[in-house]
Homo-oligomer: A and B are copies of this chain.
Amino acid sequence: MKIGILGTGNVGQTLGAKLLSLGHDVMLGSRQAGNEKAVAWVQQHGGTAREGSFTDAAQFGELLIVATMGTGTIAAVEQAGAANAAGKTVIDLTNPLDFSQGMPPQLFVGVTDSLGEQVQRALPGAHVVKTLNLVNVAQMIDPASANGGGEPDMFLCGDNAEAKQQVTELLQQMGWRRITDLGGIKEARATEPFVLLWVRYGIIHNTWTHAMRF
Contact = CB atoms under 8 A, between A and B. Distances in A.
Interface string A91-131: 00000000000001011111110000000000000000000
Contact of A147 (B107, B197, B214): B214
Interface in A4-24: none
Contacts of A205: 180, 214
Interface residues of A, number: 35
A48 to B, nearest CB: 36
A189 B196 contact: yes
A194 B197 CA distance: 8
Nearest to A211: B214
Interface in A176-214: 180-183, 187, 189-191, 193-194, 196-198, 200-201, 204-205, 207, 210-214
A191 B197 contact: yes
B213 A200 contact: no
A34 interface: no
Contacts of A148: 213-214
A108 B110 CA distance: 11
B190 A204 contact: no
A130 to B, nearest CB: 12
Nearest to A108: B111
A52 to B, nearest CB: 35
A109 B106 contact: no
Interface of A: 104, 106-112, 147-148, 153, 155, 180-183, 187, 189-191, 193-194, 196-198, 200-201, 204-205, 207, 210-214
